[in-house]
């Protein structure tokens, strides 16, 4: 049998129009598609496919169903084979398990806990007194009751154990709540307490519609970060999910384009203003996994990030990731100090869509900025401009678009096309928009053995502020493991002239930054060291996961499970090679030694 969660994932990820379109010619009819029915003879089309709801129906013979029933009837497969067939089309690996009456999804308790939490938060928002101010806030932001209900928005009151107590009354124990990230502990309190307090709550759903996590925006008397998200859990991996995609995917497919924004409130606000094809990344820079997921539904993307320097860096980095997935990105420029939510509320839907219609291709936007800064009128300026344009050229996988880009850069900078192509070939692209310098065997790599990659990168940036923009294209704050290093990186990207710690910076980060600023340590070949540090930082999580997998493989006795783990390890090694082409790992053996995989060359931050 195939587990229910797998069936639902295939159903959610399947493009019913593409599957049926392989068997009969479909023609668009408004939002839907129609054709001559394949199940009976007719001369006038009465067979309709409704992608927004994932089903088909013939108004002539009455045949109807979903993607699985069509494959079963048309191809002659049983249900299990139909799910596998659709899974292959959707890129979902379908696994079978032995039928057991007692079988259930091992993650079911987490889904149930998340579903309970959503209802708890919604009840708090609806409560006449508890949720009054939160409801007023949402209405001021243009989020009416119907929209809030559609997104399942709730409210976490300023209580330390409100959710925990309510969950206990329903038989949900602390262990499940901890695994789901709904409660947490601290050094000062071993007793679990609610993770979300004094926050507007945004449930995060997977493509199947199940709640997998939550995001909370600070509201009321509580203290802490403005936004707080669920931690990574067995059912939630933030680098692989996009907020709002389950709800928006059909509209995105219909439009062939997606609007990419930065936050939950932007998504909800735009949907409330009748702009449905919008999603947001989940508190992190856009990843290659998220971009590939979007590529299944859209060929174009409009980036509506902040227009300040930090926002532009995030925009260009996301654009390069999208180009790597085959999506053509355009940059939407909003008025200074505005975001999509504020524009929609103050100026309305038509005004916001006007900005979207005026969007500029990402390479054109880079050239506009470089021209405005007079970077194309001097030799030094042109050299710097080419360095800033090359990441986009390298990231572009569409051959025709890359050809157009190269011709455009050659015309604008005066650098010969052949030279640009040599530069692109010499330094291959890596996921995330960063680049990896090609091996230079005659030059001895410079590395400080006692300095971790994060600190080494920060020291390079403190020493040479001209490299900050280049660093922002290679890594983002989420690539830093140590919170203090992450805070320092953010501070430097927001203010490249920084000479002292900002007042709001926490003590540990401020102390570390002071040490970097006061340090006299010189680092030779700074640009190369920067690229090397960025590469090590991006590869560290993969290396750690690979180590865990090797240890698990060595202990695993079930052959099928071991095969799955080995496949996962091989995929990790492939990703590692994408980040570092010089990294080659020997093939995985089915019988690893007891100590295999326990060593790690990764340096601590």
DSSP per residue, 289-308: HHHHHHHTT-SEEEE---SS
Give the 3-state secondary structure of 130-188: CCHHHHHHHHHCCCCHHHHHHHCCEEECCCCCHHHHHHHHCCCCHHHHHHCCCEECCCC
Q: Using the Cα atoms of residue 483, residue 487, residue 488 and residue 489 in order, give the sign of their dihedral.
A: positive
Name the DSSP class of 590.
S
- Predicted pLDDT of residue 429: 55
Query: Band of the pLDDT at 598, cuts 50, 70, 90?
Result: very low
Which residue among 370, 404, 435 closes a domain?
Answer: 435
CB contact at 8 A, 302 and 259:
yes
Which residue among 494, 524, 554 closes a domain?
Answer: 524
**Structural domain includes residue 536:** no
Largest CA distance in the chain: 83
Helix or strand run (H / E) with residue 341: helix 340-347
- Predicted pLDDT of residue 100: 52
Tell me: pLDDT of 310 over 90: no
358 and 333 both lie in a single domain: yes
232 and 252 both lie in a single domain: no
**Structural domain includes residue 39:** yes
Could you read off the pLDDT of 562-572 as tens digits, one per residue?
Answer: 777 787 777 77
280 and 228 both lie in a single domain: no
| Mean pLDDT, range 54-65, rounded to an integer | 88
Main-chain dihedrals φ then ψ at residue 215, nearest 5 degrees: -125, 140
Could you read off the pLDDT of 41-51 as tens digits, one per residue?
Answer: 888 999 999 88
Tell me: pLDDT of 185 over 80: yes
398 and 476 both lie in a single domain: no
Tell me: pLDDT of 507 over 70: yes
Name the DSSP class of 467.
G
**Structural domain includes residue 17:** yes
Name the DSSP class of 588.
P
CB contact at 8 A, 553 and 592:
yes
| Mean pLDDT, range 526-536, rounded to an integer | 86
Strand pairing class (183-184; 211-218): unpaired
Query: Band of the pLDDT at 397, cuts 50, 70, 90?
Result: very high
- Predicted pLDDT of residue 579: 56
- Predicted pLDDT of residue 426: 77
- Predicted pLDDT of residue 542: 77
Count of domains in the chain? 4
Give CA angle at 47 (44, 53), nearest 5°: 150
**Structural domain includes residue 410:** yes
Query: Band of the pLDDT at 222, cuts 50, 70, 90?
Result: low
Query: Band of the pLDDT at 186, cuts 50, 70, 90?
Result: confident
Tell me which residue range forms the domain holding 487.
453-524
Percentage of residues of the chain with pLDDT beyond 70: 88
Query: Band of the pLDDT at 30, cuts 50, 70, 90?
Result: confident
Residues 6 or more apart from 396 whose CB is under 8 A from it?
A: 323, 324, 402, 405
- Predicted pLDDT of residue 118: 96
Query: Band of the pLDDT at 168, cuts 50, 70, 90?
Result: very high
231 and 164 both lie in a single domain: yes
Tell me: pLDDT of 91 over 70: yes
Name the DSSP class of 129.
T
Which segment, 183-197, 388-402, 492-506, is predicted with the most confidence on average? Answer: 388-402
Give the 3-state secondary structure of 409-460: HHHHHCCCHHHHHHHHHHCCECCCCCECCCCCCCCCCCCCCCCCHHHHHHHH
Name the DSSP class of 581.
T
Q: Using the Cα atoms of residue 578, residue 579, residue 580 and residue 585 in order, give the sign of their dihedral.
A: negative
What is the domain-level CATH number for residue 156? Answer: 3.90.980.10
Percentage of residues of the chain with pLDDT beyond 90: 43
214 and 152 both lie in a single domain: yes
What letters, b where the CB count within 10 A reaches 16 and e where it falls short, cover 161-177? Answer: ebbbebbeeeebeeebb
Query: Band of the pLDDT at 233, cuts 50, 70, 90?
Result: very high
194 and 59 both lie in a single domain: no
- Predicted pLDDT of residue 34: 92
Tell me: pLDDT of 82 over 70: yes
161 and 268 both lie in a single domain: no
Tell me: pLDDT of 102 over 80: no
- Predicted pLDDT of residue 242: 95
Which residue among 401, 435, 469 closes a domain?
Answer: 435
Neighbouring C-beta atoms of residue 44, cutoff 10 Å: 8
Helix, strand and coil percent figures for the chain, each rounded to 5: 50, 10, 40
**Structural domain includes residue 560:** no
CB contact at 8 A, 202 and 216:
yes
**Would you call 329 helix, strand, or coil by DSSP?**
strand
How far is residue 318's CA from residue 299's CA, in Å, rounded to a whole number? 15
Tell me: pLDDT of 241 over 90: yes
211 and 328 both lie in a single domain: no
Could you read off the pLDDT of 434-477 as tens digits, one per residue?
Answer: 444 444 443 333 333 335 889 989 999 988 888 887 887 778 88
- Predicted pLDDT of residue 332: 96
**Structural domain includes residue 135:** yes
425 and 387 both lie in a single domain: yes
- Predicted pLDDT of residue 301: 97
51 and 175 both lie in a single domain: no
Could you read off the pLDDT of 107-124 as tens digits, one per residue?
Answer: 889 999 999 999 999 999
- Residue linked to tokens 């990186």: 489
**Structural domain includes residue 281:** yes
**Would you call 534 helix, strand, or coil by DSSP?**
helix
- Predicted pLDDT of residue 599: 35
Distances (CA, A) of 250 to 88, 134, 242, 342: 20, 31, 14, 26
Neighbouring C-beta atoms of residue 450, cutoff 10 Å: 8
CB contact at 8 A, 303 and 329:
yes
**Structural domain includes residue 377:** yes
Tell me: pLDDT of 581 over 50: no
What is the domain-level CATH number for residue 58? Answer: 3.90.580.10
Confidence (pTM):
0.62
- Predicted pLDDT of residue 61: 84
429 and 285 both lie in a single domain: yes
Strand pairing class (183-184; 300-303): unpaired
């Amino acid at each position: 049998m195939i587990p229910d969660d797998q069936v639902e994932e295939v159903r959610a990820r399947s493009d019913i129009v593409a599957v049926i379109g392989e068997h009969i010619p479909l023609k668009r009819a408004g939002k839907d598609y129609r054709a001559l029915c394949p199940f009976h003879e007719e001369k006038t089309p009465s067979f309709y496919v409704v992608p927004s709801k994932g089903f088909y129906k013939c108004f002539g013979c009455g045949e109807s169903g979903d993607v699985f029933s069509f494959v079963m009837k048309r191809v002659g497969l049983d249900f299990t084979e139909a799910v596998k067939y659709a899974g292959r089309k959707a890129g979902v690996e379908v696994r079978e398990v032995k039928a057991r009456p007692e079988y259930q999804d091992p993650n079911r308790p987490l889904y149930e806990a998340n579903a309970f939490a959503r209802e708890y938060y919604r009840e708090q928002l609806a409560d006449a007194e508890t949720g009054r101010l939160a409801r007023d806030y949402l209405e001021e932001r243009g989020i009416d009751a119907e929209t809030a209900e559609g997104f399942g928005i709730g409210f976490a009151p300023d209580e330390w154990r409100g959710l925990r107590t309510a969950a206990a009354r329903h038989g949900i124990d602390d262990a499940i709540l901890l695994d789901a990230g709904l409660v947490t502990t601290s050094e000062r309190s071993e007793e679990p307490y609610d993770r979300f307090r004094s926050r507007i709550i945004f449930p995060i759903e997977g493509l199947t519609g199940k709640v997998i996590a939550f995001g909370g925006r600070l509201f009321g008397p509580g203290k802490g970060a403005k936004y707080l998200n669920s931690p990574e859990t067995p059912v939630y991996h933030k680098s692989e999910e996009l907020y709002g995609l389950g709800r928006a995917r059909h509209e995105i497919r219909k439009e062939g384009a997606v609007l990419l924004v930065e936050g939950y409130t932007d998504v909800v606000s735009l949907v409330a203003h009748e702009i449905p094809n919008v999603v947001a990344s989940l508190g992190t820079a856009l990843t290659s996994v998220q971009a590939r997921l979007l590529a299944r539904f859209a060929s174009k993307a409009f980036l509506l990030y902040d227009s300040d320097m930090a926002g532009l860096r995030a925009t260009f980095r996301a654009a390069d990731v999208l180009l790597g997935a085959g999506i053509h990105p355009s940059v939407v420029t909003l008025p200074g100090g505005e975001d999509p939510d504020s524009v929609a509320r103050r100026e309305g839907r038509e005004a916001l869509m006007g900005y979207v219609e005026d969007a500029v291709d990402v390479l054109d936007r880079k050239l506009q900025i470089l021209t405005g800064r007079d970077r194309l009128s001097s030799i030094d300026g042109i050299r710097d401009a080419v360095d800033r344009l090359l990441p986009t050229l390298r990231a572009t996988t569409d051959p025709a678009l890359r050809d157009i880009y190269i011709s455009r850069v050659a015309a604008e900078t005066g650098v010969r096309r052949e030279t640009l192509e040599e530069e692109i070939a010499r330094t291959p692209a890596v996921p995330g928009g960063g680049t990896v310098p090609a091996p230079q065997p005659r030059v001895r790599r410079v590395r400080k053995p006692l300095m971790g990659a994060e600190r080494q990168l920060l020291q390079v940036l403190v020493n040479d502020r001209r490299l900050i923009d280049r660093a922002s294209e290679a890594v983002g704050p989420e690539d830093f493991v140590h919170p203090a290093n992450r805070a320092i990186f953010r501070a430097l990207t927001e203010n490249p002239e920084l000479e002292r710690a900002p007042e709001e910076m926490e003590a540990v980060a401020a102390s570390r930054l002071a040490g970097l600023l006061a340090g006299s340590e010189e680092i030779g070949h700074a640009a190369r060291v920067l690229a090397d540090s960025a590469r090590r930082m991006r590869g560290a999580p993969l290396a750690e996961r690979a180590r865990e997998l090797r240890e698990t493989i060595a202990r695993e006795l079930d052959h099928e499970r071991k095969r799955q783990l080995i496949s996962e390890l091989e995929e990790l090694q492939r990703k590692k090679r994408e980040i570092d082409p010089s990294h080659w790992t020997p093939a995985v053996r089915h019988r690893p030694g007891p100590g295999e995989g326990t060593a790690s060359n990764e340096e601590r931050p």
